[in-house]
Amino acid sequence: MTLIQSLVGALCVCAHMHLSGAVQLAASDGFQAVTCGSSIKLMNVQSKMYMHSHEVSYGTGSKQQSVTSVPHKDDVNSMWVVRGTQTKPCSVGKPVMCGDTIRLTHGQTNKNFHSHLHVSPLSRQQEISAYGNDGEGDLGDEWVVVCDNQTKWLRGENVFLKHNQTGKWASTSKDFGYGRPIEGQYEVAARSQKDSRCSWIVKLGIFMRDSEE
């Protein structure tokens, strides 16, 4: 059973189906914050591409499962579950605060959004991969949520994801597109410079009610 299937079975709030195929809840009534246990779609603000993974490995670098971005918001492979770290778990419904360190686990493959010192295949930045087994990997899975002006990670507000070990920023750009077998997908990599390519926003997903409201 995937993490998404488990979450859907445990979800006890009213929702309606968005036309994209994802579940979207009203941003009021306890659903404004991004919370632990929520399954989300992260859209890059500049490129309008969605963070994505699948069972296709890199041919270079770590040769781990690749992470890309795609233009289609209705792809189930673009769902990521928000979790705490191994040393600081996060209970379902706990709002993610700006400055918190989290993990993002791919809903279909149970691998974690990850980075390390390998070089990315296209832009020659720092590689981002999906890593681990059954949601457990290592410290390279940890990311700090950096916000602009808010104290909580809120739906519809821009955030940045800073790799906790290396200090680099998760990014994507239409300047670096793949050919076959994943033609139409774009590189996701970690950059030294925090700029518009590194800004992400969450609007779609399966959201757990904020336990503090």
Task: Please compute the mean of the pLDDT values over residues 185-211 and round it to a whole number.
Answer: 97
What tens digit of pLDDT does each residue of 62-109 get? 999 999 999 999 999 999 999 999 999 999 999 999 999 999 999 999
pTM of the model: 0.88
Domain 3-206 matching CATH 2.80.10.50: the answer reads yes
Structure tokens at 84: 């705490």
112-153 tens-digit pLDDT: 999 999 999 999 999 999 999 999 999 999 999 999 989 999
**pLDDT of amino acid 36:** 98
Sequence spans of domains, the chain: 3-206
